[in-house]
Amino acid sequence: MSAGKIAVDMLVSALRSSTPMAFALCGEILGERAGIVNIGIEGEMLVGAATAFAVTVVTGSPWLGLLAGAGAGLVLSCVHGVLCLFCRTNQIASGVAVLAIGAGCSAYYGTPYVGRQINGFSPISIPGLPAALAEVLRSISPTMVIGLVVPPVLAVFLFMTRTGLRWRAVGEAPASARILGINPNTFRWGAILACGFLAGFGGGALSVDYAKGWSEGMTAGRGLVAMGLVVMTRWNPAWTTPVAMIFGAAESLSLSIQSHGVGVSPYLLSLFPYLAPLVILALHAKFSRRQGHMPASLADILKFSA
Amino acid sequence: MKAAPYARRVWPLAAGAASFIAITALLFGHSTPSLAGFFAMLVKGAFGDGYAFSETLVKATPTLWCALAVAVPAQLGLISIGAEGQMYAGAIGGGGLVLLLPHQSSWVLLPLMLACGAAGGAAWASVAGSLKARFGINETVVSMLQNFIAINLLEYLIHGPWMAPNSGNWPQTAEFPSAAVLPPIVSGLRTHVGLFGAVAAAGVLWFIAGKTRWGLSVKVLMSNPKVAGQAGLNHAAYIVGAMAIGGGLAGLGGIMEASAVQNRLESGFLQGYGISGYLVSWLAGHDFRWIVPMSLVMGAILTTADTLQLSAGLPASSAMILQGVLFACILGWTSYARSRR
């Protein structure tokens, strides 16, 4: 095996690990750009994963499953919307309520599907490609492609369209936006629903495509890691893929070390995907301007002024 | 016309409770023939007899410790969701000591075990505190990520170096010697003296927060950091300190649960208490007096979920749904009432 092939393999497997989280990361960026912090994305991912898997088992179509998962995330995010925007609850507290409901409901209604088998997506094949390229293409799944396309599209939306400008204005200065005739709550509802949709889709990508199975609590903190890593993207979706790869690379590395039978406990190795983001977050904070580019209205919620 | 002050506080709670009951009936009512029977079963499951009430108290104890671990940092405006990880860290610290010195008398072992438990939890929580104080990294996210790290660390220990030799590869440590077991309050029931410890801790914290210099400093830091800085208060030290005290309390809860209820460390034995404690602290408005009765309510809900599992055949995850729905209902109605005032 050539060094180039190993590098490509590692890159692809890191990308595969990071894809479900990339969707959640995009969702959280969209939300925070409009001034909405959503710690409930973990719960929305779980509900998305369970629903997507169940629908795939029943219908046999992974595409329908993904769509259903995204829809489930969207439905759950309505709880966050009602609590934050209608009741004016603290966003972190509301997020934890969503997290608990999502974790509970996914475990409760997902029980019958534990251990069921699905085929997932059929590999992409384009006739007439050279063998090496076709080999790489076979290891790439549709959700990975979508995960690569969505972030730049969202970046264009946020930074190059009128709606995107308003979206960001709501997150930076809701009072000024209101004076200009923009209703912040309209955009914040949009942000919450979009975040739920993307988180649910990411959960679906996890259960239907990445793991091809469902188990209780299977997202294992991906949504929370995404919430932490938003700082690293500087709230710009264009940075989603490289930032999500921090988690993806750590996870695929610890999995490949395990599969090579190195004598390190798998439980120690599974610490790595959580330690790596923490260490990188600390380094990033040490060497960069504090909370650069953070939407200004988040400061009240996250109380960054330490 | 304005309603009386107490009515303004009470009606959102009543509305929240009513919504909670309605949603619960909608979700789980179908598992029994009649709704009244369903709710009677819930109440009986939590308070029906001495054993049920004891189980409620058993579940309320770690919840109370966790709620205190959330409420202490909350006095400074910090949102910690890391109580579960801190409990595991405490259980690892105290459990490690017990496994190291199994043959000491209980006069030596119990205090040392509790001290190590508190130290483990405090050290664990001060990581999040330091990252917040030094770099301004959001403590909520760090403390939640630390939960996953602590859980996996415990898994490593009980699958590896600390696995009991005679357990037949079952992931758990050796049983604690009887000198390292906290005594029950009533012999034969599982309620242990840790409950008194937790209630006493809540009282002491209420006193510190309300009647001492430290409590006043925290209030100044919370309401006006600039004035606090001019008065010479070190914000960073208070952040690390509040997180560490909270972590120490959670650590105590963790090692007490391991010692008195499980008699060993095993996989996921504290699962869910972190989030229950968080909900309790929020529902009590981070007020140390209200946290105690709220923990009892939460203990009842957790016991009830066990009843549901046994008698109505509902999965264990119904506890999580019940908690989430209760939290959303009360949170929603109380915030709504506040925003319309």
Residue written as token pair 């890391």: B82
Q: Between A292 and A3, whose confidence is greater?
A: A3
Which chain B residues touch A258 with a CB distance below 8 Å? none
Nearest CA in chain A to B79: A92
Residue type for position A262: V
The pLDDT score that the predictor gives to residue B31 is 66
> A254-265, pLDDT tens digit by residue?
887 877 777 777
* Residue A274 to residue B144: CA distance in whole angstroms: 10
Candidates A87, A97, A267; nearest CB to B324: A97
* Mean pLDDT value of segment A30-40: 89
Residues A77/A44, Cβ–Cβ less than 8 Å: yes
Number of A:B CB contacts under 8 A?
156
The alpha-helical segments, DSSP class H, found in B224-287 are 225-230, 235-256, 273-283
Using the Cβ of A124 and the Cβ atoms of chain B, whether some distance falls under 8 Å is answered with: no
Candidates A90, A216, A224; nearest CB to B145: A224
Q: How far is the alpha carbon of B111 from chain A, nearest alpha carbon, in Å?
A: 30
* Residue B61 to residue B80: CA distance in whole angstroms: 19
State residue B172 phi and psi, 5-degree precision: -160, 160
The pLDDT score that the predictor gives to residue B123 is 94
Candidates B141, B317, B333; nearest CB to A224: B141
Q: Which two tokens stand for residue A192?
A: 């919450």
The pLDDT score that the predictor gives to residue B326 is 84
Chain A, 63-82: which have a CB under 8 Å from a chain B CB?
Answer: 79, 82
Mean pLDDT (chain A) is 84
Which chain A residues touch B77 with a CB distance below 8 Å? 303
* Mean pLDDT value of segment B61-82: 89
* Mean pLDDT value of segment B31-56: 76
Residue to substitute from B320, B322, B330, B336, interface A, most A β-carbons within 10 A:
B320
Nearest CA in chain A to B155: A267
| A24 pLDDT more than 50 | yes
Residue A235 pLDDT level (bands cut at 50, 70, 90):
confident
* Mean pLDDT value of segment B22-28: 78
- How far, in whole angstroms, is CA A198 from its chain's centroid? 7
The pLDDT score that the predictor gives to residue A197 is 94
Using the Cβ of A289 and the Cβ atoms of chain B, whether some distance falls under 8 Å is answered with: no
Can you state the angle between helices B83-100 and B139-159, rounded to 10 degrees?
Answer: 30
The pLDDT score that the predictor gives to residue B1 is 41
CB contact under 8 A, B148 and A108: no
Using the Cβ of A301 and the Cβ atoms of chain B, whether some distance falls under 8 Å is answered with: no
What is the interface pTM, i.e. ipTM, of the complex?
Answer: 0.84
Which chain A residues touch B278 with a CB distance below 8 Å? 96
State residue A180 phi and psi, 5-degree precision: -80, 5
Q: How far is the alpha carbon of B192 from chain A, nearest alpha carbon, in Å?
A: 28
CB contact under 8 A, B332 and A87: yes
Q: Between B77 and A191, whose confidence is greater?
A: A191
| B3 pLDDT more than 80 | no
Which chain B residues touch A88 with a CB distance below 8 Å? 335-336, 338-339
Q: What are the C-alpha distances in Å from B181 to residues A112, B122, B165, B197, B259? A: 39, 22, 20, 15, 5
CB contact under 8 A, A98 and B324: yes
The pLDDT score that the predictor gives to residue B163 is 78
Residues B327/A100, Cβ–Cβ less than 8 Å: yes
Residue B5 pLDDT level (bands cut at 50, 70, 90):
low
| A110 pLDDT more than 60 | yes
The pLDDT score that the predictor gives to residue A304 is 44
| A19 pLDDT more than 50 | yes
* Mean pLDDT value of segment B204-228: 83
CB contact under 8 A, B136 and A265: no
Nearest CA in chain B to A219: B148
CB contact under 8 A, A268 and B320: no
Residues B242/B219, Cβ–Cβ less than 8 Å: no
| B53 pLDDT more than 90 | no
The pLDDT score that the predictor gives to residue A292 is 63
> Minimal CA–CA distance to B257: which of B245, B273, B244?
B273
The pLDDT score that the predictor gives to residue B252 is 92
The pLDDT score that the predictor gives to residue A306 is 33
Q: Which two tokens stand for residue B233?
A: 């208060």
The pLDDT score that the predictor gives to residue A145 is 84
Q: Between A67 and B334, whose confidence is greater?
A: A67
Find the length of chain A: 306
Mean pLDDT (chain B) is 83
The pLDDT score that the predictor gives to residue B67 is 93
* Mean pLDDT value of segment B204-214: 86
Candidates B77, B136, B275; nearest CB to A100: B275
* Mean pLDDT value of segment A102-121: 82
> Minimal CA–CA distance to B225: which of B207, B240, B211, B238?
B238
The pLDDT score that the predictor gives to residue B42 is 75
* Residue B48 to residue B100: CA distance in whole angstroms: 41
Q: Which residues pair with B192 in a beta bridge?
A: B184
In percent, how much of chain A has pLDDT > 90?
20
The pLDDT score that the predictor gives to residue A305 is 39
Pick the most confident of A69-73, A283-287, B108-112, B320-324.
A69-73
Phi-psi region for residue A182, left (φ > 0), alpha (ψ -120 to 50) or beta? beta
Which chain A residues touch B145 with a CB distance below 8 Å? 221, 224-225, 228, 274, 277-278
Chain A, 168-227: which have a CB under 8 Å from a chain B CB?
Answer: 216, 220-221, 224-225, 227
The pLDDT score that the predictor gives to residue B290 is 87
* Residue A239 to residue B65: CA distance in whole angstroms: 40
Residues A31/A40, Cβ–Cβ less than 8 Å: no
Q: How far is the alpha carbon of B255 from chain A, nearest alpha carbon, in Å?
A: 22
The pLDDT score that the predictor gives to residue A74 is 93
Phi-psi region for residue B137, left (φ > 0), alpha (ψ -120 to 50) or beta? beta
Residues B188/B280, Cβ–Cβ less than 8 Å: no
Residue written as token pair 């023939």: B33
> A142-171, pLDDT tens digit by residue?
888 888 899 999 999 988 888 888 888 888
Residue to substitute from A90, A109, A267, A284, interface B, most B β-carbons within 10 A:
A267
* Mean pLDDT value of segment A195-204: 93
- How far, in whole angstroms, is CA B221 from its chain's centroid? 25
The pLDDT score that the predictor gives to residue A41 is 92
Which chain A residues touch B317 with a CB distance below 8 Å? 103-105, 107-108, 111, 216
CB contact under 8 A, B279 and A94: no
CB contact under 8 A, A107 and B335: no
